[in-house]
Structure 1
Amino acid sequence: MESWRAKATAWLPRFAVVAHDLFMVWLCWQGLHQLRYAMLVAPPEYPLWSVEIAIVLAAQGLVFWQIGLYRGLWRFASVPDLWNILKACAIGLVAIGLGLFAYNRLDGVPRAVLGLYPFALAALLGLPRLAYRAWKDNQQAEFREGAAIRVLVMGAGRAGEALLRDLHRSGGYVPVGLLDDAANLRGTRLHGVTVLGTLDEAPTVARETGAKLIVIAMPTLEAAAMQRVVAICESTGLPFRTVPRLVDVLEGRSLPGELKEVAIDDLLGRKPVTPDWKLIRGWLGGRTVLVTGAGGSIGSELCRQCARHGAQRIALLEIDELALITTEADLRRAFPDLEVISVLGNCGDPAVIAHALRIAEPDAVFHAAAYKQVPLLEQQLREAVRNNVLATETVAKACRDAGVASFVLISTDKAVDPANVLGATKRLAEMICQNLDDRKGTCFITVRFGNVLDSAGSVVPLFREQIRQGGPVTVTDPEVSRYFMTIPEACQLIVQAAAGASHASIYTLDMGEPVLIRTLAEQMIRLAGKRIGKDIAIAYTGLRPGEKLHETLFHADENYRPTSHSKILEARAREVPAELVAWALQQLRAACNDYDLEEMSRVLRSAVPEFSPVEAVEQAGANIVLFPARDSRRPR
């Protein structure tokens, strides 16, 4: 009984709407006839009900139902709904004409009635809907006026228009004004909200309107413009949020309509990457991928990118059990149809990698497992050699012996003219892969990139924690700079490079402009709503062991050339004697077994002759080297 009552209650409003619309059809048909007959000297009597009217109601009602007029809600009636109504009225006229033609050959039906019918009926149906929505909006606005947060919106474009619609529908925010630099928009109204001035007038307008929150509705702004807007928002002293970029919504990192804090990557000049999805899907579609270090920042995102772009099965190889469990759970939740294989163990163990390759039978292997903390590895040479060099050789050889089609080594810009243990071990790993590629079997690919925003152990989470604790934020040197990119962007470009790679190739990703770490720290402090030097101090501690002042992306002898993707360049691999690499591996393996740090250091310097201490690099005077694609010289 209760179920029946619930269903009846749910259907009651819809029956009322149907009844309203059919009444309007009757009123329209009657009214048009009365209007037409009123022009005659002796108007005939037109009945209130007849077979003709029944046919009109039946034909039009059927069209309404088929068009889907009752799937929408009056509360959210909009222009698309009005267009739907007009379409239903026009099609209804055709149905009525056919019905009446079959009944009485349209005898006695004035042509003027037929011509005016769809427009008159559309007005009779549309106006009540819009009036109801306006009444509900006004009612809701009055209800929330007292307790709602007063919002000042920066940007009167499409994003601003969509934001206003969302704010009007929400119960917690009231838009009090718009700001936009377009002079022709000043004084205009958008969804009832006035454009009150330019962006620079935000402090004055915010004070006059009593705004409590500023929302930046300009998701396509480049870094320099976003920095300016953020500075304006900070000058008001009010909290501010931004609408997400379309790419963040599509990639699942933000929800539509969500207001989020301005992130540091919004200010670093990173334009959205547009990979060649067709190429990537053609390479990954229906295939199996194995990722070493699958629980790390890069490894886990590589898994997500591969799953998103068509991989049928992904094998996770990870030594950290919690990281393995977390990545596996994330993949199963986000991609329920994906086959996930988990292997817990050290990829440098020949038995572990052989087992993983045997059960997964991958078409491609992404080798992301590595140690990467520069200062720590300066004091942990053996582990750096064991994990970054010897484990890479073990995995690479196992992939070659198993007939894996593609092996992708995730390298670093620190492998170019290495000045630290991380760079030297990664450079030797590159040399190993280069020598294993015989141009016939497994395709060995190396992809280099710099620092990744918000990766585990990187400077961004460190600064965030220091700010949370009240400072100081520690920066090594006022002039130190680094290249940065986001984790999803780096992984997209890795997959893009691998999809179109040739044998023994080395690719470098466009990292954008180098960023001063001092500037990064200052921006993060401001975004946290703190004042530099007053709330949070910045302390300069000096360069740590193995750190360069600036990084470079290419070795002088690696002539570069463009690829099919504007953000990826291919370096010409330097010739490396196979005997040298074999000798170095033999000596390093023996030195690791004996824990002979001096021998490991000597062999590493011999195998990687460009490896020199960071002090020598600084004395020579390092320069910031921009990505060659932006150089005035043409790529060679």
Structure 2
Amino acid sequence: MWRNKRKVSLLIIDTLLLNIAYFFSFYLRFDYNIPYQYFIVYEKSFYLVTLISIVTFIFFKQYNKIWRYANLRDIMELMVVTTISSGMSSLVLFLLEIHLPRSIYPLYWFLSIILITSSRILYGNYMNYNNNSLKNVAHKKVLIIGAGSAGRMLIRELKNHPEIGMKPVAILDDDKSKLYRSIDGIPVMGKIDDIQDIINEKEINEVIFAIPSAPKSLLKKVIDKCSEIHIKVKTLPGIYELVDGTVSVNNIRDVDINDLLRREPVKVNLDEMSSYIKDKKVMITGGGGSIGSELCRQVARFSPSHLIILDIYENNMYDVQQELKRKYPNLNMSCIIASIRDEKRISNIFKKYKPDIVFHAAAHKHVPLMEDNPQEAIKNNVYGTLNLVKYADLHNVKKFVMISTDKAVNPTSIMGATKRICEMIIQSFDKKSNTEFVAVRFGNVLGSNGSVIPLFKKQIAEGGPVTVTHEEVKRYFMTIPEAVQLVIQAGALAKGGEIFVLDMGEPVKIIDLARDLIRLSGFEPDVDIPIIITGLRPGEKLFEELLLSEDKYASTKHDKIFIEKPVFDDYDGLMLLLEKYRTTIDDMNVDQVKAFIKRLVPEYNPSHVKTIEEIAATEDILGDATNDV
């Protein structure tokens, strides 16, 4: 409704101004005294000239523009259209043999351009002034980091959208050629190292980092400097997203913990990844989880002939199903509710769907919970994987990629030990199968369900305290997209039997992540939000490792992906022990399960329980299985 009113208003204004221009072209031509015979000519022709001009404006869509956002190009285009309308009017008058003094034509052209363009400029300024006078909007003083394309676009958007409540007052940039200049009236006041001085001088309320292509180290530098003086930092999406309309200025967001990785994100070859997935039947287990759902999204992009999603939890499955239906309406997709522990069900699924590729993401992964429920960890992680591997082999699956964890290396937890057994299953089966079985090992995934970051965010939202188990606990971190791209890349690199490991940079102290996240939320650690050390949980290590042996790994053509060399191939011994105790796991107590695991994984070292020898000496249920493997 408002848009139509605006168009009608502009049309009325143009009609009036064009008549004024036409009249004054006569008035000036005859030195302020129009002869009667020419006044009659004016009366006969003014409506025709006006109509032709208005029709020309409509034809060139001059009433579809939002003139409060007009730039020089829009004004130049309006001048060209006004020139065309004057030319068309002159041509029609000539064809109708309505003769005017020749000087009338350039006068009318000049006056109409002046009046029409001036009206647009005044209209745009009036609308901006009227919009900027919005009441009840508290404007924060904003410092922009970056005087490039993204910074310029951001400043214009903030000025055009005062309802956002942000007022740009200064810019910082390390490019010397941009120093002490201005963008849309906002001065470039110095380099990024000057940030604290500028914040104090200009009484800045918030900082927006507007260099999407900048390395993480530069963003971290800005965050560190701002956190010292309790100023919040936000980031701008990539400039290509702004240009193509994917996001707008409203997508300026708080700095995410993902931005604080102490390394650059890992990039992979998308073309190489897609080549082996396209037109193939792909099964993803645990497809409703953090990693599994992202696998579904990534795989769906590469046009599989059939995407088979398997999960035991229907709520997550439903969310993934609806999302993929919206994004990929032509995707051939089957969503299966099933447990990987149910061997008969798994057998029937493989028989029915006959997948070409399997990504195995289903697992119990919570370390403390699995310490208290080791039987469930064995049944789900170990025997569930064994079921999948067995029927993948039987039905000639081409590639089978299992997701493992750094906790599988020299494990101290039940969860980590079960994942190490899964790696052993993968490698031992690969020696006898036509299927290419591989595993992918990586560290903690930022923001995944049950990870430390969502816990910290929840604790901060509740006012604290934030709990950290030990001041020296360190972990490797990666983002969910990185983890998934690594999994898919492993499938592209797979020849069979490999354990792929990502170079994840340096491990990060959990307490440092907690402090950063508290600062990014606008609080001061140990002042506004306390941090409490709770002590290591059962099965938890101070440090995680990615390799069983630091000197036993091979490089790949991807400079951030490595292959661990040690290969387990005792298929017969492993299967003997696993099948022997498949049906008796529920009858074992916690110590018996740990003794069982120790026989499978000698490097398993649960330091918080009694010795394995003490356990084995008292276990009737394990009998003489010590020599089975």
TM-score by length of 1: 0.78
Contact 1:86 1:119 (8 Å CA) reproduced: no
Contact 2:409 2:545 (8 Å CA) reproduced: yes
Q: Distance in 2 between matches of 1:251 and 1:167?
A: 18
Identity, in percent, stands at 32
Cα distance change of structure 1 residues 462 and 21 upon mapping to structure 2, 3 Å threshold: same
Contact 2:15 2:50 (8 Å CA) reproduced: no
* Deviation string, structure 1 residues 352-407 (Cα, Å, up to 9, x no partner): 22344455443322211111122333343322221111110101222232333322
* Deviation string, structure 1 residues 37-63 (Cα, Å, up to 9, x no partner): 99xxxxxx99769999979985x8777
**1:132 aligned to 2:127?**
no
Residue 537 (structure 1) aligned to one of 525, 530, 552 = 530
Letter paired with 2:381: N
**1:431 aligned to 2:424?**
yes
Q: Distance in 1 between matches of 2:407 and 2:525?
A: 31
Q: Which runs of 5+ in 2 are unaligned?
A: 32-37, 610-629
Letter paired with 1:555: L
* Corresponding residue of 1:442: 435
Q: Distance in 2 between matches of 1:251 and 1:449?
A: 34
**1:559 aligned to 2:549?**
no
For 1:505-544, what aligned pairs fall within 5 Å after superposition?
Answer: 505-544=498-537
Q: Distance in 1 between matches of 2:253 and 2:184?
A: 23
Residue 365 (structure 2) aligned to one of 360, 368, 372 = 372
Q: State the secondary structure of the residue aligned to 1:316.
A: strand
Residue 216 (structure 1) aligned to one of 183, 201, 209 = 209
* Corresponding residue of 2:163: 171
Cα distance change of structure 1 residues 357 and 49 upon mapping to structure 2, 3 Å threshold: farther
* Corresponding residue of 1:300: 293
Q: Distance in 1 between matches of 2:605 and 2:545?
A: 14
Contact 2:173 2:188 (8 Å CA) reproduced: no
Q: Which stretch shows the higher mean deviation, 526-535 or 82-91?
A: 82-91
Q: Which stretch shows the higher mean deviation, 186-195 or 330-339?
A: 330-339
Letter paired with 2:312: I
RMSD: 4.4
Cα distance change of structure 1 residues 202 and 561 upon mapping to structure 2, 3 Å threshold: closer
**1:188 aligned to 2:144?**
no
Contact 1:591 1:600 (8 Å CA) reproduced: no
Contact 1:199 1:232 (8 Å CA) reproduced: no
Letter paired with 1:508: V
Contact 1:176 1:209 (8 Å CA) reproduced: no
Q: Distance in 1 between matches of 2:122 and 2:377?
A: 71
Size of the alignment, in residue pairs?
598
TM-score by length of 2: 0.79
CA drift at 1:10 = 5.5
**1:267 aligned to 2:260?**
yes
Letter paired with 1:242: T
* Deviation string, structure 1 residues 163-191 (Cα, Å, up to 9, x no partner): 22222223242415113143554543322
Contact 2:70 2:124 (8 Å CA) reproduced: yes
Residue 154 (structure 1) aligned to one of 137, 144, 148 = 144
Q: State the secondary structure of the residue aligned to 1:403.
A: coil
* Deviation string, structure 1 residues 270-289 (Cα, Å, up to 9, x no partner): 53444323333333345443
Letter paired with 1:77: A
Contact 1:202 1:236 (8 Å CA) reproduced: no
Q: Which stretch shows the higher mean deviation, 49-58 or 571-580?
A: 49-58
Q: Distance in 1 between matches of 2:498 and 2:89?
A: 70
* Deviation string, structure 1 residues 70-120 (Cα, Å, up to 9, x no partner): 4322222224534654776798899999x79x979xx99999x99x99999
For 1:314-463, what aligned pairs fall within 5 Å after superposition?
Answer: 314-358=307-351, 360-437=353-430, 441-463=434-456
* Deviation string, structure 1 residues 580-599 (Cα, Å, up to 9, x no partner): 32223223425425426556
Contact 1:152 1:178 (8 Å CA) reproduced: yes
Q: Distance in 1 between matches of 2:3 and 2:128?
A: 22
Contact 1:548 1:614 (8 Å CA) reproduced: no
Q: Distance in 2 between matches of 1:118 and 1:613?
A: 90
CA drift at 1:133 = 1.8
Cα distance change of structure 1 residues 402 and 108 upon mapping to structure 2, 3 Å threshold: farther
Cα distance change of structure 1 residues 84 and 567 upon mapping to structure 2, 3 Å threshold: farther
Cα distance change of structure 1 residues 117 and 275 upon mapping to structure 2, 3 Å threshold: farther
Q: State the secondary structure of the residue aligned to 1:548.
A: coil
Q: State the secondary structure of the residue aligned to 2:124.
A: helix
Contact 1:141 1:174 (8 Å CA) reproduced: no
Cα distance change of structure 1 residues 37 and 251 upon mapping to structure 2, 3 Å threshold: closer
Q: Which stretch shows the higher mean deviation, 48-57 or 210-219?
A: 48-57
